Structure 1
Amino acid sequence: MRISPSVRPTPSTTLWLARGRHTGSDAAAAVRHTLRRLTSAEVLDDHLEIPEAESGSRQIFEARWKVAGTVTVRARLTLEPLTEDGREWVLAAEAERAWHPEWPSPATMFWPDEPDTAWDHEPATGLRLRAANHLPTEDKEIRRLLRSSVRDGWSIDLVVHEAMTPDARGQRPLGELLPPSLRHRVLEHRAAPEQLRIVNRVLREFGVQVPRGGAVLVPPDPAPTGFDADDFAVRTVFLDGSYPTEVVDALTRYAALPPPLPDGAEGAVSALRDEWQLMTLEEQLVRERELVAMYTEALDAMTKSRDLYREAAERAHEALAAFRESGAAAPAPAPQPTAVPTGSPFQQLTRTLERLKDTAKALRPTPSADGSTEEPGKDGTGGGRSETAGE
């Protein structure tokens, strides 16, 4: 049983998304050569390579062209850093209206369309997008391969059963006969005549079955809204080089469904829309006007904030002044003496000093009216008056 990942948002019908791996020697050189050639041939309106200082370790290319005469398509290709297996790339393109299958594939605007170029490898499995990939013989390997292939949701997986071994014309991939914008999104898996039972046993996990001598689309998890296994199963596929009408119809209807965004596609779509640099003079003027309007709005907001702050500060100063005036008019209450605990050393010392003071007053001689002095304790009864020198 498959474990469902978190639900991803639904992309717009104007988007075209693809991912792959280039296994050749110099992927960036191949992209530059294709962009220059198509710009010189006026297939592209213009192209641009983002400077290394802005793109970092990745290399980013942008291109613009027209389809159906007047519909502008903008596309952005990102080359990831080089690894042992080559360079992975992500391509996000967006048109001014819903995508049509007969429009040129955005992949051919960046990559050469020759069959011997090695840019169309599916990263998770290593299979080629422009080839008829035969399934392994063991059921475990088939299951592992299909799981890896449909897990991220980048490709449209088509399983074709060969009712009998086809000739050279039937062995050619069906992708060559598909509408241009579907050729580099479909990953074709071929099952040999004797593999029908084992393949269908594996496909039960994905909720689909391939008819004998027919084909079936294998959805990712979760499947696109409106997907029904029977509606996307083709009863008969003639592998004789003729146009596969029923297969094309099923693929076209499937591509029109609103599938969830593949894993990692949100960043590519955001970069295409928010970091786009290949602009015409009119687009630059519009962007500058938008920036001026944005800065003006921000400045107005800052000015309003400053005025509100100033008003609040003035009110605070007024309140503080009123508080000070009211405080000066009212007399301040007298400070209360600090209470000394009963029996404290300070209180005992105070009492002792008071007694000494009273004792000193009592011992001090008291002058009489005739200038003589009386000793303390010697009054008329107790001691007699001191005699003068004349007496």
Structure 2
Amino acid sequence: MTKNSSSSTTVPGTAWLARGYHPGPEPERDVRRNLIALKAAGVLDDFLDLDPAEAARSTVLHPREESAGPGPSARRLFEARWRVADGVTVRAQLTMHEDGVRRADNEGITWVLAAEAELAWNPQWPSPATMFWPDSDRIAWDHDLVPGVRLRAANHLPEDESELRRRLRDCSRNTWYIHVVVHEAMTPDARGQQPLSAFLPPSLRHRVVEHRATPAQAQVADFAMKRALNVRMPRGGAVVLPTQPRSPDYDAEHFTVHSVFLDGSEPTELLGLIDEFAKLPRPLPEGAEQALTQLRQGWHLLTPDEELAHAQGMVIKYAEALDAMTKSCDLYREAAEAAQAALAEFTNGDGSPRTPVPGTAGAGSSPLNAIRKGLGRFRDPNK
């Protein structure tokens, strides 16, 4: 695994992170089918399908790290390994959790996806999401945890102003995604209604959430964004929303586009700002550090070379542990023998204390001192 040293508060440049909600009844089946198909097609090198309890017991890289496990709410863990341009290896884990939100149908799971490459992440690489989830609109795996928001859709903002502000706050607070708000200067046709994510490079496509304001929402959306996030939305334009906590590198005016044509043409200026925003240092959202730790320390899908190196390392560790145990047993035995000899000298052999002969035993040679000397070996840090 990549062992890049990175701040515990920012997303490493080698990582790709996502989190969402799958409302369907059989999410594991959807992932398994996709993994099997991609491995058969040669897209994936290999994959694993693990029960969380099994995954915790078989953690091979850092078996004593408590934080490397998938957690008590996990219900399934998938791992996949593939190679991108120039043979760069990518490792990824998808963890499914029992959905913590009460819903009417009692179905659905939340999922967390953490991927890491051997080099800095390139937006042109394939999206890790489509390595696990099928890239099809028929399976709605792409819901954000904020209700009513999806990754692969143009999400219209609520009409109620207070609900609109609440959604903007929820989407920017501890978010795993880049959120963009686009105002429709006029109601677009079918081509303009398509989400702008179709123009994004593959690895950014599932990291961006697009919000749409209708023509009638120009003033109310602008006012709500000003109050909630201190940014403005130009009529017929777009703005990349800041994260909360706000990055010092974010400038609202810079990340604002004053004109976006929703006619099916490529919005070059907006795409450039999204790409620029994606490269800024970003704080790790809640739960992301645990997902990265699990990926790095709780990895199971080893290559043959990694399995050999791991086995050799375990042999060395077991040999060192056995040697330490042997030395400890020898020390315990020597101390016990010394204590028994001193005790025998101090008694008559039947447990009764021996009567000392006056003038024959010095203070430094008493049986009690002999016992203390034997037991003192336990207190000697060098022994």
Fold similarity call, TM over 0.5: yes
Q: Which amino acid aligns with 2:93?
A: R
Q: Which residue of 1 aligns with 2:282?
A: 259
The one of 237, 243, 264 aligned to 1:241: 264
Once residues 210 and 79 of structure 1 are traced to their aligned partners in structure 2, the CA distance between those partners, rounded to angstroms, is 36
Structure 2 regions of 5+ residues with no counterpart?
A: 1-6, 56-71, 347-355, 362-383
SS of equivalent residue, structure 1 residue 69 = helix
Q: Which amino acid aligns with 2:109?
A: R
TM superposition shift of 1:240 = 1.3
Query: Cα deviations across residues 291-311 of structure 1 (Å, max 9, x unaligned)?
Result: 233344545655676778789
Q: Which amino acid aligns with 2:80?
A: A
1:134 maps to 2:156: yes
Once residues 331 and 98 of structure 1 are traced to their aligned partners in structure 2, the CA distance between those partners, rounded to angstroms, is 81
The one of 113, 116, 123 aligned to 1:94: 116
Which of 1 and 2 has greater Rg? 1
CA contact (8 A) 1:150 1:157 kept: yes
Change in CA separation of 1:320 and 1:235 when aligned onto 2, cut-off 3 Å:
farther
1:103 maps to 2:120: no
Identify which range, 286-295 or 208-217, moves more after superposition. Answer: 286-295
CA contact (8 A) 1:225 1:257 kept: no
Q: Which residue of 2 aligns with 1:283?
A: 306
Once residues 320 and 179 of structure 1 are traced to their aligned partners in structure 2, the CA distance between those partners, rounded to angstroms, is 81
1:192 maps to 2:192: no
Q: Which amino acid aligns with 1:164?
A: M
Q: Which has the higher contact order (CA 8 A, sep 6+)?
A: 2
The one of 79, 83, 103 aligned to 1:66: 83
Percent identical = 54
Once residues 303 and 236 of structure 1 are traced to their aligned partners in structure 2, the CA distance between those partners, rounded to angstroms, is 76
CA contact (8 A) 1:214 1:235 kept: yes
SS of equivalent residue, structure 1 residue 273 = helix
Change in CA separation of 1:218 and 1:305 when aligned onto 2, cut-off 3 Å:
farther
CA contact (8 A) 2:24 2:107 kept: no
CA contact (8 A) 2:185 2:215 kept: yes
Q: Which amino acid aligns with 2:206?
A: H
Superposed counterparts of 1:1-391, under 5 Å = 9-51=9-51, 53-54=53-54, 58-81=75-98, 84-204=106-226, 205-299=228-322, 330=359
TM superposition shift of 1:16 = 0.5
Once residues 258 and 328 of structure 1 are traced to their aligned partners in structure 2, the CA distance between those partners, rounded to angstroms, is 83
TM-score normalised by L of structure 1: 0.74
CA contact (8 A) 2:94 2:113 kept: yes
Once residues 156 and 227 of structure 1 are traced to their aligned partners in structure 2, the CA distance between those partners, rounded to angstroms, is 13
Identify which range, 175-184 or 244-253, moves more after superposition. Answer: 244-253
Change in CA separation of 1:240 and 1:279 when aligned onto 2, cut-off 3 Å:
same
SS of equivalent residue, structure 2 residue 98 = coil
Once residues 238 and 252 of structure 2 are traced to their aligned partners in structure 1, the CA distance between those partners, rounded to angstroms, is 11
Counting matched residue pairs gives: 326
Instruction: Calculate the aligned-residue CA RMSD, in Å.
Output: 3.0
Once residues 317 and 285 of structure 1 are traced to their aligned partners in structure 2, the CA distance between those partners, rounded to angstroms, is 48
Change in CA separation of 1:302 and 1:219 when aligned onto 2, cut-off 3 Å:
farther
Change in CA separation of 1:328 and 1:254 when aligned onto 2, cut-off 3 Å:
farther
Q: Which amino acid aligns with 1:236?
A: S
Q: Which amino acid aligns with 1:222?
A: P
Identify which range, 163-172 or 202-211, moves more after superposition. Answer: 202-211
TM superposition shift of 1:116 = 2.5
TM superposition shift of 1:217 = 1.4
Once residues 309 and 10 of structure 1 are traced to their aligned partners in structure 2, the CA distance between those partners, rounded to angstroms, is 50
Once residues 208 and 85 of structure 1 are traced to their aligned partners in structure 2, the CA distance between those partners, rounded to angstroms, is 37
TM superposition shift of 1:109 = 0.6
